[in-house]
Chains A and B, each alone.
Chain A
């Protein structure tokens, strides 16, 4: 009798459909996957170690580089953790600006996901459309923060600068046009027979397994689990906005697609609400030990100059203790666990990233499926390797 042998295929780390430098060793019986072993770490930069030698302010730019499609959300998670450690109150205006930026960033991140995911499966047109809208969001970020991909806009205690004059008109124009753009994407994909065949019923595991694998974010909500950190533990005034958590039913690739599309619509609505009710007032909490003084004062007043110098060179010393703060990032729950020993840099700087946990479920999702499904499942769980490897 002929012996059956498995064929081993190495996918990645240089592969366009792994969305970064992920390497998966696939063992195949014909076209069916018997076993798969992901190998991580190609983008491991030792961020947790690096941050231990920096002051709390200095660690903010590191967080932009976690999930580089969702920089504002990462900033937000980190500053919330530090503010929780300090027990700080943030001005309402800063909170609203943060919500606006985080939601715009969520739309931008989902647009990258949609474009690349569709491209992986063979639909090229959505990529051209989604990057057109993403560009508009990045232009808004550039005006607001000065940076596009890694804006480092948020500060401990608030945001780095107030919204520039005239930006509201631009954001409004974007919000006005965006729902129609979502309809455009939907005409291309939602009822497209090729899209349906590649996504329906693919990547399904049981809901219990998904929870056991620590899956969060749109991927978990695709299974019908209504867990969203914005609702479960409202931060940054999210409890003042009206929005719903879209959920799927079976948890296949198609459900995740639908969930993310609906999320973009709700994000659009949240930004609109925040813009309408944007309160006035300061954008940075005034705590001389922690927040930087206004730049104009630094240039004219010696006391402010000293304050700026002290904070930049020495940082501040939060009380001893440990906190965990998380946000709903575009990929799922992004949390920071900070342990302070009372000195000016963190004793432990732990980043819980959603992609890491979501990726751990990949092997289970593609077991017994065809090799072509690997591409659509990787796309659907929306991993960013900067965040998996940190």
Chain B
């Protein structure tokens, strides 16, 4: 267990005010952190010689809809050195933005574009924040809970002008 808790212990030592909650479910450790220091925390997890979370396995958004802050961003990290995963979660409000981690993991460039596209969460200091799946000029963010599954215009067939 000590091995599993090492990143949590280190995070608690270095960011005592930002670690909000640590949960373990099905042997997976989830650290919920405050948004303000997310960049520093990611940087620390990436560069600390004992942790070395060099692989950003996944970055995705969550929409809690009725709660405030409304959105969440989840980072799945993997350390090639210790063969361990860590999940870092943070919450973002509806009109807020969150620091980009693109300068730490290059793959975050595309993941953050995807989250921006599908959830409408904006990332600060992102070099190229455009839509990635949907076309430029599309309105709405499909993975939000208030976006209908059929699409917003399913009952308004589009008839092009001739």
Contacts and interface: CB of A to CB of B under 8 A. Distances in A.
Interface of A: 40-41, 44, 46, 48-50, 52-53, 84-85, 87, 208-209, 211-214, 216, 225, 227, 232-233, 321-324, 326, 333, 335, 337, 339, 348, 350, 352, 356-357, 360-361, 364, 389
Interface in B77-124: 80, 83, 85, 87, 105-107, 109-110, 118
Interface in B3-53: 25-26, 28, 30
Interface string B143-155: 1000101000000
Contact of B106 (A212, A225, A339): A212
B129 interface: no
Given A48-B143, A49-B142, A324-B85, A41 B135 contact: yes
B28 A357 contact: no
B133 interface: yes
Contact of A339 (B62, B80, B107, B143): B62
* For the complex of A and B, 5 pairs with smallest distance between CB atoms: A214-B107, A41-B133, A352-B58, A44-B133, A321-B25
24 contacts: A40-B132, A40-B133, A41-B135, A46-B142, A49-B142, A49-B147, A84-B26, A85-B26, A209-B106, A212-B54, A212-B105, A212-B107, A214-B55, A321-B25, A322-B30, A322-B87, A323-B25, A323-B26, A324-B28, A333-B57, A335-B58, A339-B62, A352-B57, A360-B110
A337 B58 contact: yes
A319 to B, nearest CB: 9
Nearest to A339: B62
A227 B147 CA distance: 38
A350 to B, nearest CB: 5
Contacts of A87: 26
Interface residues of B, number: 32
A213 B131 CA distance: 19
Contact of B110 (A85, A227, A352, A356): A356
Q: Per DSSP, are chain A's interface residues mostly helix, strand or loop, or mixed?
A: mixed
Contacts of A52: 149
Q: Which of A214, A225, A339 has the most CB of B within 10 A?
A: A214
Contact of A41 (B87, B106, B134): B134
A219 to B, nearest CB: 13
Given A44-B134, A360-B106, A352 B26 contact: no
Given A211-B80, A213-B106, A350 B58 contact: yes
A170 to B, nearest CB: 37
Contacts of A323: 25-26, 28
A212 B121 CA distance: 23
A21 to B, nearest CB: 12
A225 B79 CA distance: 12
Given A212-B107, A337-B58, 17 more contacts: A46-B142, A49-B142, A50-B149, A53-B149, A84-B26, A208-B54, A214-B57, A216-B55, A322-B25, A322-B28, A322-B87, A324-B87, A335-B58, A350-B60, A350-B74, A352-B76, A389-B133
A6 to B, nearest CB: 18
Contacts of A216: 55
A360 B109 contact: yes
B10 to A, nearest CB: 21
Contacts of B58: 324, 335, 337, 350, 352
Contacts of A44: 133-134
Given A49-B142, A350-B60, A352-B57, A213 B107 contact: yes
